[in-house]
């Protein structure tokens, strides 16, 4: 027969055991230092190699979630000692990651930045929502014994180590705008994970701070700072989201215009389209395979029909033309549907 005590013991989580585990894991010790250093090395080389699998591999060793969990618990429990310990561990762990990534970044400035690096330089509202959900998953895993929280923890840590490495690698190259984007993503992920982690802990019974909330000004202030940071991030990343969406729509409209204009040039194909902001203007770089040549007048005509950029800066079209010849058994033929083997590889880094 089940007694109230046995029912209590059979709960999915044990609050006291979870408190002890979180506090213990938030310590800055030898294992914490080694694992975060290795995670930074794996993530940095994965980013430089433009390898998504390499970046994902960093999650197997990263340990940055533990001090964030400690911060979250300290806020819902009003434990200032744990808060201080967890913040020091988090700063120390982040410092280790930054140091390792900086050394690697300085050693490999000759490796061009790929999509894995650039993908972490424009954080937006969607990244914040992913981090919020990840923090909730991490919290529930910590307080639920039948979930292997170590796996969940290292998985969430991938949202922290790669953007830290991204910001540092760009900082080592002097590309401060991209570095700021990487650091902003890392900071947003840390704040969002901590915020949702605290909410889940509070909902599941971790409420030591509740009784003293309105009597202890320090508790009010600390939790208020967490809430304020979340609001600011929603505002900032919401603006970034609008910018990203506007840029995507602009690129899509530019592509539509060029494809429509190329219909007048049989056999022409638009292979590469990139838009960058340089020297107070938007540079549209297009690579076109075509059996016919393009003149400066053609480029001017294309440019005049391009849509207005979201930032209202002037647009300059730079067209790279690769002359192709499509042969059939009947001879030379302009074919709007070139076979894959007929198309040379795109030149993605053209000026």
The answer as to CATH 3.40.1550.10 being correct for domain 247-342 is no
Q: Exposed e or buried b for every residue in 87-111, given b needs 16+ CB within 10 A?
A: bebbeebbebbbebbbebbeeeeeb
How high is the pLDDT of residue 202? 83
How high is the pLDDT of residue 10? 44
**Start-end of H helices in 4-79:** 4-9, 15-25, 30-48, 52-57, 65-77
Q: Between 125-142 and 176-203, two packed helices, what is the crossing angle to 10 degrees?
A: 40
* Domain spans, the chain: 4-212, 247-342
Q: Residue 317: beta bridge partners?
A: 284
pTM attached to this predicted model:
0.71
How high is the pLDDT of residue 175? 92
How high is the pLDDT of residue 338? 44
Phi, psi of 283 (to 5 degrees): -95, 120
How high is the pLDDT of residue 152? 57
Look-up of token digits 């310590």 = 27
Q: Whole-angstrom Cα distance, residue 251 to residue 320?
A: 17
CATH topology of domain 4-212: Glycerol uptake facilitator protein (1.20.1080)
Say which DSSP state 294 is in.
-
The vertex-252 CA angle with 266 and 129, nearest 5°, equals 155
Q: Which of 23, 24, 55 is nearest to 42 (CA)?
A: 55
Q: From start to end of 232-345, where are the E strands?
A: 269-278, 281-290, 315-323, 327-328, 331-332
Which residues of the chain, if any, have pLDDT below 50? 1, 5-12, 336-351
Task: Give 14: exposed, middle or buried? Use CB within 10 Å, 0-12, 13-18, 19+.
Answer: middle
CB-side neighbour CA atoms (13 Å) of 7? 4
Q: Exposed e or buried b for every residue in 156-170, given b needs 16+ CB within 10 A?
A: bbbbbbbbbbbbbbb
Q: Whole-angstrom Cα distance, residue 178 to residue 165?
A: 12
């Amino acid at each position: 027969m089940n007694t109230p005590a046995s029912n209590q013991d059979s709960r999915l989580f044990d609050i006291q055991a979870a408190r002890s585990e979180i506090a213990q894991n938030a310590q800055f010790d030898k294992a914490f230092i080694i694992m975060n250093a290795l995670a930074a090395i794996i993530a940095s080389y994965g980013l430089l190699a433009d390898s998504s699998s390499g970046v994902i591999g960093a999650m197997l060793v990263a340990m940055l979630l533990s001090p964030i969990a400690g911060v979250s618990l300290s806020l819902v429990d009003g434990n200032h000692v744990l808060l201080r310990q967890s913040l020091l561990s988090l700063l120390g762990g982040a410092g280790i990651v930054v140091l390792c990534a900086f050394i690697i970044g300085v050693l490999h400035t000759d490796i061009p930045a790929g999509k894995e690096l650039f993908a972490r330089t424009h954080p937006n509202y969607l990244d914040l929502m992913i981090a919020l959900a990840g923090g909730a998953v991490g919290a529930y895993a910590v307080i639920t014994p039948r979930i292997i929280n170590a796996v969940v923890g290292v998985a969430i840590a991938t949202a922290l180590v790669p953007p830290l490495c991204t910001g540092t690698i760009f900082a080592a190259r002097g590309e401060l705008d991209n570095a700021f984007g990487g650091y902003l993503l890392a900071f947003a992920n840390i704040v969002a994970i901590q915020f949702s982690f605290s909410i889940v802990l509070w909902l599941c019974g971790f409420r030591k701070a509740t009784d003293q909330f309105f009597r202890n000004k320090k508790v009010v202030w600390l939790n208020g700072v967490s809430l304020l940071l979340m609001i600011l991030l929603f505002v900032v990343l919401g603006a970034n989201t609008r910018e990203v969406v506007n840029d995507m729509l602009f690129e899509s409209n530019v592509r539509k215009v060029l494809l429509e204009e190329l219909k007048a040039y049989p056999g022409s194909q638009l292979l590469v389209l990139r838009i960058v902001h340089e020297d107070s203007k938007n540079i549209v770089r297009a690579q076109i395979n075509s059996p016919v040549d393009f003149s400066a007048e053609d480029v001017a005509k294309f440019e005049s029909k391009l849509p207005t950029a979201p930032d209202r800066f002037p647009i300059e079209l730079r067209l790279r033309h690769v002359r192709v010849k499509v042969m059939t058994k009947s001879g030379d033929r302009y074919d709007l549907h070139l076979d894959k083997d007929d198309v040379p590889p795109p030149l993605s880094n053209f000026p």
